[in-house]
Amino acid sequence: MKKTKLAAISMPVAAAIAVVVYLFGFYHGQTNEGPAVLSNANASVASPVNAVEDRDVYYPGSEDLGKDEMRVIACGTGMPNARPKQAAACFLVELGNGDKFIFDIGTGSAERLSAMLIPYDYLDKVFIGHLHADHFGDLDALWVGGVLANRQRPLRVWGPSGSEEKYGIKYAVEHMKEMFSWDFASRQGNVNTVGFKIEVTEFDYRAVNKVIYEKNGVTIRTIPAIHALDGPVSFILDWNGLKFAFSSDTFPNKWWMKHTTGADLAIHESFIAPNDLVNLQKWAVEDALNVGTQVHTSPAQFGKVMSEINPRMAVAYHFFNDHNTIEGALRLIRKTYDGPLSMATDYMVWNITKDEITTRMAVVDEDIWPLPSITEKLPADPKDKIGFSDFIYGGRVPYQDVVNKVYEDTNKTFGTDVPTPK
Ligand SMILES: [Zn+2]
Ligand SMILES: [Zn+2]
């Protein structure tokens, strides 16, 4: 968690400044010329001109990740109805060995991923727990966004089979590509389309603690989840003695209890409490109870789950985390669990080492652009271009003089010689 952009200050200098500040505060206080500076003030905090050293926030792109450290960022913690404050399920796991993994990519979450200032080249591994839109609805945005940002490697997607072929991840991705037939065709010859490739690994949703990924010291396992229909799974990532567990969506189940016990970070759904579904969303009581406690895990059940697996940090997500819901949810969880707990909301960040887990919020820059790729941008191949019909082409108003000038000026700026299209 090394902060690279903060001014370095050596300990003896800091101590000397602290003494000066203390003395200043002492005499200043005595002479009654204004408010006294606290005698125990941190030198950096007390200064009217220096940066505050211990800012308790995460600015994406501003910190090195320690080689033994795991950083997890909530890029979606809400519901199928994405909203400005919370996208749907998505957690980014970054490891000190350089690997990055995305767990679920729910509606609205690609925007949060982009705010993390990571070149798309590194955002190429996605693990999808089940095929509800709030868990994979932004796969297209990551996929096509990655193509335009010059990701020159395939997007790799891991996900479960279903009880029938059409309920599995392979079917879903193949048909997503079908859905984007026009998108793909329209970009051929205009941008390089190498990144359009998707490699799908479909595994048996019934597999228990089976390794589905193993590389570079990272092992990812799958366990069955119980949610709505056969097919959902939960994931467990092990690396460097640290264990990350992600439920996606599930009713409390025996596989989770057995295989996530003692996890360093255990992220489990804790759905909107039944009362809130009735009061705030006008659900019928019957539906609120069924969906809130049978299809999903309610806050009270979540507390029970965590009290059994005893993680170093329990993370509740999958609810609208607002001033009028948080207290009720917490009260229900605390009836059954009194351990370390984060009530997740978007942009919450956990830094995890063997010694310490810190929880902070990220502060993002809404004006960010996609980070330049780590590889040189490949040009489009004009031979791939499909082009227009005579009918549509015949409707163009070319403003040839204006375009000629744009080409001329741009070529001059960049020292190039790109011919104006005829
Ligand atoms: Zn679901
Ligand atoms: Zn869900």
The total of other beta-carbon atoms located within 10 Å of residue 221's CB is 21
Contacts (Cβ under 8 Å, ≥6 apart) of 338: 307
Q: Give the pLDDT mean for 339-357.
A: 98
Count helices and strands in the chain by DSSP H and E runs: 14, 18
* pLDDT at residue 372 in the model: 84
**Ligand at shortest distance from the CA of 76:** 2
Phi, psi of 144 (to 5 degrees): -70, -40
What is the whole-number distance in angstroms between the Cα of residue 229 and the centre of ligand 1?
9
**Ligand at shortest distance from the CA of 269:** 2
User: C-alpha angle 20/26/28, rounded to 5°?
Assistant: 95
Average predicted confidence (pLDDT) for the chain: 91
Distance CA 246, CA 234 (A): 6
What is the whole-number distance in angstroms between the Cα of residue 304 and the centre of ligand 1?
20
Q: What is the 8-class DSSP label of residue 293?
A: I
Establish how many alpha carbons lie within 13 A of residue 49's alpha carbon, considering only the half-sphere containing its beta carbon: 0
Domain ranges in the chain are 9-55, 58-362, 396-422
Architecture of domain 58-362: 4-Layer Sandwich (3.60)
Max CA separation in the chain (angstroms): 88
Can you say whether residue 216 is alpha, beta or left, with left for phi > 0 and alpha for psi between -120 and 50 degrees?
Answer: left
What is the value of pTM for the model shown? 0.90
**Ligand at shortest distance from the CA of 318:** 2
Confidence of residue 40 (pLDDT cuts 50, 70, 90): low
What is the whole-number distance in angstroms between the Cα of residue 130 and the centre of ligand 1?
7
Q: What is the 8-class DSSP label of residue 248?
A: S
Contacts (Cβ under 8 Å, ≥6 apart) of 128: 104, 105, 135, 136, 139, 157, 158, 159, 160, 169, 248
* pLDDT at residue 43 in the model: 53
Q: Residue with structure tokens 């507390």?
A: 303
| Of the listed ranges 39-43, 120-124, 231-235, 346-350, the one predicted with least confidence | 39-43
235-253 pLDDT per residue, tens: 999 999 999 999 999 999 9
* pLDDT at residue 28 in the model: 43
* pLDDT at residue 46 in the model: 72
Six-digit token string for 56: 């308790």
Q: Is 358's pLDDT higher than 70?
A: yes
What is the whole-number distance in angstroms between the Cα of residue 293 and the centre of ligand 1?
13
Residue 232 or 23, more confident: 232
What is the whole-number distance in angstroms between the Cα of residue 358 and the centre of ligand 1?
29
Burial 392-404 (b: 16+ CB within 10 A, else e): eeeeeeeeeeeee
Residue 376 or 280, more confident: 280
76-135 pLDDT per residue, tens: 999 999 899 999 999 999 999 999 999 999 999 999 999 999 999 999 999 999 999 999
